[in-house]
Structure 1
Amino acid sequence: MNMNLNDWTLVCRVEDIPVLGSRRVERARGMDVAVFRNDAGQVFALLDRCPHKGGPLSQGIVFGTRVACPLHNWSIGLDDGCAQAPDEGCTPRFSVRVEDGAVYLSAVELASVAVDVVAPVAGPARRMAVVTR
């Protein structure tokens, strides 16, 4: 594989990703990216956010080429980021390269894809009222 290293960012080694698990990659802007490895040794990357309610996909269970969201068990395709029918919606995916056991993500995509997506707030979100007397 011939890669221009300026186009790719080294994020980890394949063995750093648990089989049937994931690891999170922090970005300078935007939500983290979840990098997954299945039991066939394939590596995938998605925005760490379920398209349903924003659940952290990095905490989901990987099976085949899918991950189950830990919040509501939506099945999300690791290759396309889309929910399995009858559920609908997709989360952004990121291009992955594996070379000599090293995992690279597209530098352009890391800097530009879904950088405006905000992480969901856990628990009841209430605005504090300012009390004036």
Structure 2
Amino acid sequence: MQDPRKKTNRWVINATRALRAATMENQKSHALVVDLDGNRMYTISEEMDEQARNAAAEKGFQLPGGIRIVDIQFPHKDRAVSGTTEIFYYPGGYSDQALIHLEDDESQRFAYKLEPLMPKIRVLEEWTAY
């Protein structure tokens, strides 16, 4: 059986890499959408209409058993603990700065750190804050 944490890490790393590449290639903004209530993530682009966005949400990555999204933090903003939050990637090659905090069923905490000018997302073994 596949480790839920490794599966989640792989999906997030690959999705953010693909978002950055697509944004640079077609010069349109894209976003990683984090659905805290549905415990899922998916990607969208500014070109998508509402029907395409709904389809992307339905096909999104459902976090595997035991992993849950706790919150999302942006610098100088309140943390999001429910609803959906979009983390944008811009045509200039940068992204929003954000922290995605997660927890597994054994209360092990980890986080993803997105930096505006860094090409890769960082996987942190602990929570941090802005």
Between structure 1 and structure 2, the one with the greater Rg is 1
Question: Is the TM-score greater than 0.5?
Answer: no
**Higher helix fraction (1 or 2):** 2
What is the TM-score of this pair, normalised by structure 1? 0.30
What is the TM-score of this pair, normalised by structure 2? 0.30
